[in-house]
Structure 1
Amino acid sequence: MWILIGVVAGGIMVSSLFRWNILQGYHDELEIHIDELAALTAVDAKGQPYILRRLSDPRYLPLDSGFYWQIAREGYSTVASPSLGENRFDPKFANSTTMNIAWTQGPHGSTLEYAKQIPHAGGPPLRLLLATDKRLVDENMAEFNRSLFFALAGFTVLMIAIGALQIRFGLKPLNRLSKAVADVRSGETDRMQGSFPSEITPLVADLNGLIDSSAASVQRSRMVAGNLAHGLRTPLAILVDEADRLRQAGHNESADTIMEESRRMQRQIDFHLARARQAAAHPAPGQATALGSSAEKLVEAFTRLYQQRPIAFLLEPGDDVRVACDSHDLTEILSNLLDNAGKWANWQCTIRWHKLDPSVVIEIEDDGPGLPEGAQEAAFTVGTRLDDLKPGSGLGLAISRDLARIYGGDVELEKAPSGGLKAIVRLPAV
């Protein structure tokens, strides 16, 4: 439609410019010819005007050619071009010595006329007139407009065809993109594949990032659900069995209390399992948690939790930073690592952090026995327990690393300067 609108507007403009040029050409010709007519006009001894020779333009000769000239003098016979035949123009139009130009009514319709007076001694002035039929202008315009129409029609068809081809081939990358998305949805591929133009490559990269994040979130949800099921359902089953034993032994009140609390825990487990299954989503943008306040609360909580042991939880305040992480997830990451450090520490656990753009590095260090060389990575395996005498499920480190990676960070273990273990958490800074 834009091509059609542009072509029509262009055609109107070109046609108008051509008409203006034709009229300008007629104006120039008539002005030259009336000067020529004035130079060729003479008067005999009786005062009758006549022309010394015919005009240089032969179009004034054929009858009804559309080009006319006329010489009139009051009281004398009018002299006219052969093309005018018996027709005559009104000589009063030439009423001044300056050029008179106007569209008037001629022998064959509207006519463009040039006229002026030439004073002559001893008698009335000579009135010279040249005229051209408007139909000649219209015929030239009609012929030009026909040619212009066919030219613009061909140009329009060509432009529409080129536009269609441009759209067809220009949108092919989007068709490939649509097919790549369909392949991922159908399970044929796990990521969008193929080569795309530079304009679409960032979109493909973002979509692949979203796919990877979704897959990681699903894996996280499954792991959380599995960990909860594995870690809590078996103890609950034991508690329920123990309650039955108490009831059989006649301790009904104790059995009822245990059963009631077991049911409450079962409801909580079912709730959090369902929440974990449904929460397989990429972290929402704009999440921010103040690291200092979260760490301070955790240190206070673990100090109370380990008050039966002579272990000091020390907080070394660092930069006032916020991490791009949900507050609950940050608490879970740090609490798992602090709990692990507290189990193995001899005297103290220390938490510190510093900003290393674009991340925040958090260090949790204990003065315990540490890990043998090469065992750091194995400690992140789900369910791995390095010492069965210590309480725990072997899930804390794995859960912390999984959560950190969901947010684009990571958790690593290395030997501390004190000989113990140092957990290093990297999370994106806000």
Structure 2
Amino acid sequence: MTEQGVRWSADRVLALAPDAASREAGSRLGVAGPWSGAGSSGEGTVWGLCRGGGSAPYRTVVDVSDVSGLAYACSCPSRKLPCKHVIGLLLLWSGDAGAVPRREPPAWAAEWREGEARRGAETGTAGSGSSAADPEAARRRAERRAERITAGAMELERRLADLLRSGLATAEQAGYAMWEETAARMVDAQAPGLAARLRELGAIPGSGPDWPVRLLEECALVHLLDQGWLHRERLPGSLAATVRSRVGLPGSPEGPAVRDQWLVLAQYDTGDAKLTTRRTWLHGVATDRTALLLTYGAAGRAPEPSLPVGLALDAEVSAYPGGGRQRVALGERFAAPTPTAVRPKGVTTAQATARYGEALRDDPWLETVPVTLESVIPAPGGDTWQLADADGDSALPLTPAAAGRPGLWRLVALSGGGPVTVFGECGHRGFTPLTAWPHGPGDAVSLC
């Protein structure tokens, strides 16, 4: 069952659209303006009234409680399934909790939900979004989606082979349109994870020195993901779960909830024209575990929750499946965040690099791992900055993006040439510092 607090990503919603025109039209409706009376229930029903060309608004209702399928209804005359109103309502719900608040459903939405559940229980066929009422229908929907993803993966393999045969130089000549068209095919195949990786590939040709090398590396990772999906039955359970997640299949938190005092290590937002993503890093004081909380909001709006860096939160979290099990969903909170003097244990720069290498065994597509560096000094190093061990002879270069952030100068000022403790993300491009603590007593300083 989908928890209402764990909202879908925009890519997952757009993967439901029957064609490109529906994706574009649905995206335009994914804002609060056209909607009124929108809401969601704890049972997984989302509804709203969308202003149309007629005198009466269109009634749109969706059941999102089944992670393997979707049931919906709309009073519009469109023959496309799902219609643009369903896509727009789901985008609104996934991106803006305030625009689709939790409330009691209106009579027309409640009647539809009851009718769907009744038909599913009586007929045992697709038509109810509840997997509890109709598990066989949910299984068939999951199988159909897997077949579509498999077809898309096989087509992508052919396109990658064509690219290598014709030479990487042709990618620069073809331009971004080639990658966007292929990405659209992956969206049609309901593999939004593959689509996102292809759009990133499209930005590499002609992007600077050695771009063919970077393009070849990224193509190899896409090929590896393709092969992982096509041979997923041969993979260990955790790696197979990672492949499903990377391809774009939805997942839900599983296993027992873990209660701890969760130190807020860092929080920052990234976004594009459609969606703002908030990344919050937490560290369990008792479990000594670092976890990632992902939340989403409509473009230009800050997602929830907003957790001050350096405070500790008494709460439960549940892990998502996949290698490393870093991503979690925030569950019940037992108290408001409170100040704490606790800091995570740190490692050397060499140990941080080794930790990233070990993590790649569980998730070969992992860009970074969370790491706390103990007793490092920021210093210039060649064309960039680096964090050097105060008591050793190794160092980690900062990523190009981190070297240009204002947070770098806050870190340099905090250090003053002396050692500091730094939390950040370590990957193949270098280290991105996110939070720092002075060598002695002192509060956390956000570098985001």
TM-score, with structure 2 as normaliser: 0.19
| Larger Rg over CA atoms | 1
Q: Which has the higher helix share?
A: 1
The structure, 1 or 2, with the larger RCO (C-alpha pairs under 8 Å, 6+ apart) is: 2
